[in-house]
Structure 1
């Protein structure tokens, strides 16, 4: 007969996030996907803005009131962060597509640059908006 065991054999476990050591390129990859999803939400907000604009002054004023609320401003700030992160990391990927910056030191440095650019560009944008009276 066969020598097959009746119980299933122990199988190796797949690595999980608890096993992997977090590094900057891993964080940028995950954040890039998350900001892409956030930008889809931003596109829906832009479509709602256009519908409110087309619906007349009352609908537009209500929509502007919603965006001007603390929650609306928080969402808009998050969309600003998402936009600048996705932009910078997309450019980073374009550079990688040319075959440059793929070594570990360059990839880590460009990851730090992406996060730094995101922070600076977001703060500068919101300071300009505040100084121009848009908030």
Structure 2
């Protein structure tokens, strides 16, 4: 009996497995969900600082208003819109639509592009 040279698992990234758009979007959906938890903790920190008084609020504003804080808020906003758009995609899947590979690819591109557009629009509107 000759040894089979094929990989045992599709999760062996490298020469055996090429990530597909649907798998990358699924992993990103999970990562953005975790990122939303962290961002929500930052929101709770900001609200608690507002409730604790002017000094605590001033400190929170300095943290959130810093370059790193603004970058984090931008990424958190993108994660929120990505997670929402992909959630809508999943609702269509739950209804039985969009399972064909071409439809899954098209809806995946829609999720990515709409999350970027909505994030930029949100920051443009909020900044004005």
Superposed CA deviations along residues 11-54 of structure 1, whole A, max 9, x for unmatched, are x6433122222221111101000000000001111111121011
Matched, 1:17 2:9: no
Counterparts of 1:14-53 in structure 2 under 5 Å? 14-15=9-10, 16-18=12-14, 19-53=16-50
User: 1:114 is matched with which residue: 111, 115, 122?
Assistant: 111
Superposed CA deviations along residues 40-88 of structure 1, whole A, max 9, x for unmatched, are 0011111111210111011011101110100000100010110000000
C-alpha separation in 1, matches of 2:46 and 2:13: 39
Superposed CA deviations along residues 83-111 of structure 1, whole A, max 9, x for unmatched, are 00000000100110011111111011000
Matched, 1:76 2:65: no
Q: CA RMSD in A?
A: 1.7
SS at match of 1:81: helix
Can you give the 5+ residue segments of structure 2 that lack an aligned partner in the other structure? none
In the other structure, the counterpart of 2:102 is: 105
After TM superposition, the score normalised by the length of structure 1 is 0.85
SS at match of 1:121: helix
Matched, 1:96 2:86: no
Instruction: Tell me the matched-pair count.
Output: 123
